[in-house]
Chains A and B, each alone.
Chain A
Amino acid sequence: MIAYLLRRMLYAIPILLGVNVFIFILFFAVNSPDNMARIQLGMKHVTPDAVAKWKHEHGYDRPLFFNGPAPGAGKFTETVFFHKAVPMFAFQFGAADDGRDIGQDIKTRMWPSLVLAVPVFLIGLLVNITFALILAFFRATYIDFGGVVLCVAMMSISGMFYIIGGQFLVSKLLHLVPISGYQGGWDAFKFLVLPVAIGVIGGVGSGTRWYRTIFLEEIGKDYVRTARAKGLAERVVLFRHVLRNALIPILTGAVVVIPTLFMGSLIAESFFGIPGLGSYTIDAIRSQDFAIVHAMVFLGSALYILGLLLTDVAYTLVDPRIRLA
């Protein structure tokens, strides 16, 4: 098990390296460091000296991937790629293109993101499982049919509609909670109720439908028939047998997203003015801040790989038949 985990972690290194190379190529294929300097310094009246100075200060004054004149290993280490990408592996994100410390930003902005994303995840999981169980209980009746139709309809509504509609209805017409904004501590509650509720509602359609199929697949199996043949009540069959077994694919499927909860939600955070990592990323995209986008891509990839690893571990924990080797 430990050997397996170690091997998987080593396997993550080439993937993360690949992510870095890819994002570098993407960014610098047409966009030279000179261009970046000009954008950051403002387009007008930029002297070559100022550009050179900016590049030196931000570490873009080396060749991108390969430094021909440098001696020995310096051919590869004295490059922008080496200096920008390698510290990432130690989670040293360096400074943003406008000078702020990215690591510090991430540390402070991580909490609002988590405070929003974790309740959405947990409540969403609970609500979806409950609804799916209800639909599975009433399977092949009009309740089930209506529920599925409702799910498909809810899936077909743009996520932005939920946010805009919710803000309008709850905040503007009913004045129950502020439209947007954020405060630390317990005050955060009133700012978070609406985003969390909307996050849950937005995910109900696809979640419920997906879990319903898992339940129905489980209900069709032989052990369920045996349980019914023993004369168990449908309620007992559903809760004691089906629910427990169906939770294996549901929970292991949910584990993969847990690490990425850190990254926050791009749209919701931005609409509700929550200073988390999602809105941080959007701002960086809009201001074309390469350092921040790079850091967030790296962080996102690392968390995704962690999620895959956790999924494997979760499988062995909930299903003793699976052994990692």
Chain B
Amino acid sequence: MKLVFLQTDILIYCLLLVIGLYIWRARGKAHLAAPWRKVARRPAAMASAMVLLAFVIVGLLDSVHFREPLSNQKPGVTEYSLEIVSLLDKLLTPLRKHNEKTYSAPLATRLFAMETIEQPDGRIARAYPRLQYGGAELGATPKGYARDIGRLTLKGTLLALLLWLALTTALSTWLTQHRNLGWRALWRGEAELPWRAILFTLGVLLWLVCVTWAIAPHYHLLGTDKVGQDVLYQALKSIRTGLVIGTLTTLVMLPFALWLGVMAGYFKGWVDDVIQYIYTTLNSIPGVLLIAAAVLMMQVYMDIHKDAYNSITERADVRLLLLCLILGVTSWTGLCRLLRGETLKLTEMEYVQAAQAFGVSHWKIMSRHILPNVMHIVLITVTLDFSALVLAEAVLAYVGVGVDPTMNSWGNMINSARLELAREPLVWWPLAAAFVFMFALVLAANLFADAVRDAFDPRAE
């Protein structure tokens, strides 16, 4: 196995590092830890944090890429497959490999379209052909379909129940020993954290995961798409794209917004004029047009430098990163303006003026005295922007300036399934899958962002 580090992977690891550092720093500081404790006390916030965590785990599993050794090895040299796969791909091998011919409905055993098939006795008939993988154990004429589905669901449910009970027991034992909280107190919601909401969400998530785990290898839980690929697999792979766009974009825009905003507010005068001019100009260009123009430019650039990429995966990845860059560069203006306003206010405060009177350098005042005091605005904006960016991806894919068409993303799923709505009967499952996954992620992010805003915004009392 040979590890491959895509560019977005590296940035994701960097992001993890930054978050880790932040947590490590915030633990010791009361003024940073207190608002987070406030967030943790909200049941809705903790429930959505669990959902977000599930998405993040899938996204991280999908961010460890490698190339597998080829099966027919020459002795002495190890050769690796050109295909780049991720840990998630490995986990989902049955879903990835079980490709049918074309559309099939969720949990179907037959294809969606009629075909002319030759029967064993030589006659030609029009029928719905049997799926190659969907319910393969049931034989050529699927018998006991309902019982099989029921059996698998039950298996998943039992497993989920066992796991949940084990986790709950472990948790309550730990809490009893270390926090002196019995399970009764947990149940009545007397603990500081809303354990009921957390455990309930955990239960629902476990049930979904276990039932999927039980059914997915045998059936196409969410059907297959036009080229017969499993829709569930596509939707799961799209999680990484959505998360990357939602997080890396803000990571890219942060330095711009932070420094320009703080500098404009601190130095005032001509620096302020120049920075204000820049962001008013950028802001006045209609967002989608600006993104479209930049993406068109990027496409031309990538066409000219076609040979720089070894594989489709790498090219799509570079394109994703550039898209994040573009979105970041076009969207930093709002945060910049907020920071400028806040800095203008802060520079009038006594402690900043005292620092100036002592002759502390501008750089030090900005980084030591102003920056930490505007961080709550940054945090609130970043969490609020996340869901908007995830939703924007779908719109950009529709306009034709989104991620690479070969990359799995909810926008691409919607875009390719949109045309199939005219079919009779309707092919609804790729659309529904994309919308439901997107909805779950965005709703969780919105609820969490709300809690963060309430906890960190000093005006929200």
> A interface vs B, CB < 8 Å?
14-16, 18-19, 22-23, 26-27, 29-31, 35, 152-153, 155-161, 164, 167-168, 172, 260, 263, 266-267, 270, 281-282, 285-286, 288, 293, 296-297, 300-301, 304-305
Contact = CB atoms under 8 A, between A and B. Distances in A.
B289 A30 contact: no
B260 to A, nearest CB: 15
Pick the most buried of B294, B296, B431, B447: most chain A CB atoms within 10 A of its CB: B296
B281 A19 contact: yes
B438 interface: yes
B167 interface: no
Nearest to B298: A30
B293 A26 contact: yes
Contacts of A27: 293, 296-297
B285 A297 contact: yes
A156 B442 contact: yes
Interface in B283-315: 283-286, 288-290, 292-294, 296-297, 300-301, 304
B224 interface: no
Contacts of A159: 391, 395
Nearest to A15: B281
Given A266-B288, A285-B296, A152 B281 contact: no
16 contacts: A26-B293, A156-B446, A158-B394, A159-B391, A161-B435, A167-B421, A172-B421, A263-B286, A267-B398, A281-B288, A281-B289, A282-B399, A293-B289, A293-B293, A297-B293, A301-B286
Interface string B257-284: 0000000000000000000011011111
A285 B391 contact: no
B418 interface: yes
A155 B388 CA distance: 9
B401 interface: yes
Contacts of A35: 300
A287 to B, nearest CB: 10
Contacts of A30: 297, 300-301, 304
A14 B273 CA distance: 12
Nearest to A300: B286
Contacts of A164: 414, 418, 421, 431
Contacts of A160: 394-395, 398, 414
A26 B297 contact: yes
A153 B387 CA distance: 12
Contacts of B297: 26-27, 29-31
A23 B293 CA distance: 8
A23 B278 CA distance: 13
Nearest to B288: A266
Given A26-B294, A164-B431, A15 B443 contact: no
Interface in B44-100: none
Given A31-B300, A158-B394, A19 B285 contact: yes
Given A157-B442, A161-B435, 18 more contacts: A26-B293, A27-B296, A30-B297, A30-B301, A31-B297, A152-B447, A156-B442, A159-B395, A164-B418, A164-B421, A167-B421, A266-B395, A282-B400, A285-B401, A293-B292, A301-B281, A301-B285, A301-B286
Interface of B: 277-278, 280-286, 288-290, 292-294, 296-297, 300-301, 304, 387, 391, 394-395, 398-401, 414, 418, 421, 426, 431, 435, 438-439, 442-443, 446-447, 450
Nearest to B301: A30
Nearest to A31: B300
A16 B421 CA distance: 42
B62 to A, nearest CB: 21
B284 A301 contact: yes
Nearest to B400: A286
A152 B438 CA distance: 14
B285 A300 contact: yes
Given A153-B443, A293-B289, A18 B294 contact: no
Nearest to A14: B277
B443 A285 contact: no
Contact of A23 (B277, B285, B300, B426): B285
Nearest to B390: A158
B304 A18 contact: no
Contacts of B285: 19, 22-23, 297, 300-301
A266 B398 CA distance: 10
* 6 nearest CB pairs, A to B: A300-B286, A156-B443, A18-B281, A301-B284, A156-B442, A304-B284
Contact of B283 (A153, A286, A304): A304
A156 B439 contact: yes
A157 B447 CA distance: 13
A300 B301 CA distance: 26
Pick the most buried of A23, A26, A158, A164: most chain B CB atoms within 10 A of its CB: A158
Given A26-B297, A293-B292, A158 B281 contact: no
A81 to B, nearest CB: 16
A158 B401 CA distance: 17
Contacts of A158: 391, 394, 414, 435, 438-439, 442
Pick the most buried of B281, B288, B426: most chain A CB atoms within 10 A of its CB: B281
B159 to A, nearest CB: 30
Contacts of B400: 282, 285-286
Contacts of A26: 293-294, 297
Nearest to A16: B284
B410 to A, nearest CB: 8
A293 B387 CA distance: 28
B446 A155 contact: yes
Contacts of A19: 281, 284-285
Contacts of B438: 158
Contacts of A18: 277-278, 281
A285 B399 contact: yes
Contacts of B294: 26
A29 B398 CA distance: 25
B433 to A, nearest CB: 12
A157 B440 CA distance: 9
A296 B296 contact: no
Given A18-B281, A23-B285, A152 B450 contact: yes
A12 to B, nearest CB: 9
